[in-house]
Structure 1
Amino acid sequence: MNISKKLLLIVVLTCLEVSITVFSAFEIAKGAQFHQLNFLHLKYINQLDKAVDKILPNTQINLAAIEANILAIRQQPMNCLKAANALNKLVMNIIDTRHALTLCKQDVKRANTTLQSVNDYKNDKINRAEFLFILNHALDEFNDNSEQFEGPITKTVSFIFVTFIPLVIVISIFNVIYISYLSRTISSSIRNLTTLLSSKSNKTDLEDNFSKSTPDELKELISAAKKRIENDLLNIESSKELKAIVSSQTDSLQLANDELAQFAYRASHDLKAPLSAVKSLSRFIVKDIESNDTAEAISNAKTITKQMEKLESLVVDILQLAKADIGNEETSPINFEQLIVDVKERLYWLMQDIPCQLEIHINLEVEIISDKVRFTQIIENLVSNGLKYYDKNKVSPLVKLDISNNENSIIIVVTDNGIGIPKPFQAQVYGMFKRFNPELCSGSGLGLSIVKKHVEYFKGEITFQSSEQGTIFKIIIALDKL
């Protein structure tokens, strides 16, 4: 199982854990609500009992007070029946406590019958003795039902505690163990790969060890670098050129090794940070559950979900960077209007929360046949950066995308009037894991690296100008390189 699928499993388990925790909390709270309603039920039964006891022979009966007490008695079982949803009924059927709802229905029915007897007495349809008999009979039934109601409700709440809370604890413990294992696996894989590339093993041993011990994602990254070097070596025609290229490739290889070491360190750090946070939060959730602090447990579980989403986004960006150097023979005509629609849908979560406007201008006189995925990632990363780093102090924040062509090239220009890239960092703008304004927006710091890789794949040119007035990125790619 590769890294992204392992992380997805953690997200699924965490969501399951949060769902069970929230369900248990609501069910326990509902049990407390049912107990409270039964307490009120007993209170109003007692009031009706006192009102009946005060009725003396040959005295007028206070029918208004008796009717008000009966209405109050009827309200509690009605509220219980209303609060019980389909899931509650299913649980009650499983543990044989459904008769609690039957008692509520009996109380409602008895209350309605008693209210009818009040009306009958008012209209002289029944005499005083019959009316008092009905009241006393109703009181006996109300009291009996109220006493029987406590048992099944207590049993239901106990079932929630005994069944679901241990299940949450088991899932939490498994999650912590699995997260710890995954963290060690990722860190170990990156360290082993760095050691393997730095070793002096022969080619056969190096390839065997590389195939056996390297995860698929890192294999793609190294394979892309290897393929590029092999293609360059095949074009060597003379010993003089060979020496020059060997010297150049040596420097490039050293730079690639340095870049890989930096990548390994930063990727390990950025992957480990959320995993460590999730590990700590999982312990807190266990403690919160043990101390019955459900609200804090839910808050920590939500934080774990956010950390996993951040981790999943980072892995996706790493995969995109790894694949940026890998050739794709699948080319097709690109509909840029539809491409922009797709990009807008993916950036909807970002655009809906900011006042920044996005203007699109497409003026192409030729059909572009190329790799749609690469153009999508180029445009999406540049546009999303412009949206993320808009200037809140400007009246009309704007990001503008222009796509056009001349006789030889396709030209993509992304202009914004945002906060700009600070001058001290402009030389590092295409570096991996570079985040120049982390306080404004979180991200992997790989977006512009991915754009640069794709432009280099097409042997194109990317330039930018940035100041406090905004930033302009311009990409020029020859039509015959598509």
Structure 2
Amino acid sequence: MNNHSDKKIKVLYVDDEGNNLLAFQASFRRIFEVHVANSSAEGMKVLNNHDVHVVICDQRMPQSTGVEFFQIVRKAFPDPIRMLLTGYTDAEAIVDAINKGEIYRYIKKPWDDVELKNAIQNAYEIYITRHQLKNKISELEKTNDELNRFVYSTSHDLRSPLASIMGILNLAKMEDSVDDPNGYLGMIETCVHRMDGFIQKIIEYYKSIRVDDEYEDVDFNKMLSEIIEICSMQNQDIAFKLTVDQRVPFMADAFRLSVILNNLISNAVKYQKPTAVEPWVKIDVQVDEMKAVIQIEDNGIGIVEQHLNNVFKMFFRSSNNVTGLGIGLYIVKEALARIGGKISVHSVYGEGTMFELRIPNHPYVKLEE
């Protein structure tokens, strides 16, 4: 008996030889709940009508082999553990079945009762472990979903008092009603802006992982011009150079694509040298039927080489000189994963950085590793 339940282990044995079915029932019906079938079709009927933990099948049967039967069972009923029983040395088929995951193990005929009993009990332990793991994954997914909803709701709620604080600060500055020789109001305003920016990033991340994929025609000239117009407000001294070669239609998730490009271009502006004489950001887009290749390059502060492998991690900041949040590139990586894109980065500290994106033209191709 198993240690997890008072119920017996439910076993299905499929074999075209009636004597084997009778022998199996005689040996194990007191230990397990035994179901038998004399063909693959009968075996499928049993699986349709009963919750079975372990399925055992003879390899050589007239209408189909045991491996062929398990190929069907694996798709229709993936939970039961599958074992092959054979009196033949069909090594190639058995190895292939094990490698492809169609069977857990095989037992030679004529079977040894003790060996087969232990094999069934071990298979059941695997069944229970997988079942528990599936339940844990389901619980974690539910918890993660609830946590995401909580963070999103809280972030929205926090923006309201922040907006009130900003309104009061602006009113105080307009009326010149507060004596502030030490610049405390400016410090408060800076902190509020940083917090509001962080909250907006959280909301952006939530939307990126929650919003359903929706593919539509993308006009890179239009999308990038709008992003540049907004980002240039951060630093009006930066010269933007945009080159777009798009001679064919491009289908993509426009929402996530705009999130990706907005974060990368915003970073290119944010991480400029404070004393740069001629700061610039270059954006080059090449589109064909299969993909879009986008390069975003700047002559900013750059990233030290040992940090290049960490820039896409949440809350990682490559420089302490800029008030970044360390979440933008993480959002980029997550959004790219959703649309099947890839990103690489090349940077020389003190000279600048270039990000290259490769995004599939949906639904034509999925980019290779």
> With structure 1 as the length reference, what TM-score do the two structures score?
0.40
Distance in 2, Cα, partners of 1:15 & 1:391: 29
- Please tell me whether residue 446 in structure 1 is matched to residue 327 in structure 2: yes
Match of 1:408 among 285, 290, 310: 290
Read off the aligned partner of 1:10 and give its amino acid letter. P
Partner of 1:4: 155
1:396 to 1:326, Cα distance in 2 relative to 1, 3 A: same
1:398–1:417 Cα contact (<8 Å) kept: yes
1:424 to 1:404, Cα distance in 2 relative to 1, 3 A: same
Give runs of aligned pairs for residues 388-467 of structure 1, distance below 5 A. 388-391=270-273, 396-439=278-321, 441-467=322-348
Question: How far 1:343 sits from its partner (Å)?
Answer: 0.7
- Please tell me whether residue 367 in structure 1 is matched to residue 243 in structure 2: no
Partner of 1:331: 215
- Residues 301-339 of structure 1, C-alpha deviations (whole Å, 9 max, x = no match): 443333222111101111222333335243322222221
Distance in 2, Cα, partners of 1:320 & 1:369: 22
- Residues 239-294 of structure 1, C-alpha deviations (whole Å, 9 max, x = no match): xxxxxxxxxxxxxxxxxxxxxxxxxxxxxxxxxxxxxxxxxxxxxxxxxxxxxxx4
Q: Determine what percentage of the aligned residue pairs are the same residue.
A: 24
1:458–1:481 Cα contact (<8 Å) kept: no
What SS does structure 2 have at the residue aligned with 1:373?
Answer: helix
Question: How far 1:371 sits from its partner (Å)?
Answer: 2.0
Partner of 1:215: none
Question: How far 1:411 sits from its partner (Å)?
Answer: 0.9
- Residues 391-433 of structure 1, C-alpha deviations (whole Å, 9 max, x = no match): 4666543221111123421111112232221112111010111
1:392 to 1:328, Cα distance in 2 relative to 1, 3 A: same
Read off the aligned partner of 1:405 and give its amino acid letter. V
Distance in 1, Cα, partners of 2:239 & 2:223: 18
Distance in 1, Cα, partners of 2:173 & 2:277: 43
Give runs of aligned pairs for residues 300-311 of structure 1, distance below 5 A. 300-311=184-195
1:7–1:308 Cα contact (<8 Å) kept: no
What SS does structure 2 have at the residue aligned with 1:463?
Answer: strand
Distance in 1, Cα, partners of 2:172 & 2:277: 45
Report the structure number with the largest CA radius of gyration.
1
Read off the aligned partner of 2:256 and give its amino acid letter. R
2:342–2:359 Cα contact (<8 Å) kept: yes
2:280–2:298 Cα contact (<8 Å) kept: yes
1:374–1:454 Cα contact (<8 Å) kept: yes
- Residues 117-147 of structure 1, C-alpha deviations (whole Å, 9 max, x = no match): xxxxxxxxxxxxxxxxxxxxxxxxxxxxxxx
Partner of 1:348: 232
1:301 to 1:388, Cα distance in 2 relative to 1, 3 A: closer
1:427 to 1:16, Cα distance in 2 relative to 1, 3 A: closer
Partner of 2:261: 379
- Please tell me whether residue 14 in structure 1 is matched to residue 165 in structure 2: yes
Greater length-normalized contact order (CA 8 Å, ≥ 6 residues apart): 1
1:25 to 1:413, Cα distance in 2 relative to 1, 3 A: closer
1:375 to 1:295, Cα distance in 2 relative to 1, 3 A: same
What SS does structure 2 have at the residue aligned with 1:435?
Answer: coil
Distance in 2, Cα, partners of 1:299 & 1:396: 31
Distance in 2, Cα, partners of 1:394 & 1:304: 28
Distance in 2, Cα, partners of 1:386 & 1:410: 20
Distance in 2, Cα, partners of 1:24 & 1:361: 46
> With structure 2 as the length reference, what TM-score do the two structures score?
0.51
Question: How far 1:457 sits from its partner (Å)?
Answer: 0.9
1:14–1:301 Cα contact (<8 Å) kept: no
Read off the aligned partner of 2:234 and give its amino acid letter. L
1:20 to 1:318, Cα distance in 2 relative to 1, 3 A: closer
What SS does structure 1 have at the residue aligned with 2:192?
Answer: helix
Match of 1:472 among 343, 351, 354: 354
Read off the aligned partner of 2:329 and give its amino acid letter. L
1:15 to 1:377, Cα distance in 2 relative to 1, 3 A: closer
What SS does structure 2 have at the residue aligned with 1:376?
Answer: helix
Give runs of aligned pairs for residues 114-263 of structure 1, distance below 5 A. none
Structure 2: gaps spanning 5 or more residues: 1-151, 365-369
Higher helix fraction: Structure 1 or Structure 2?
Answer: 1
1:18–1:298 Cα contact (<8 Å) kept: no
Question: How far 1:11 sits from its partner (Å)?
Answer: 2.4
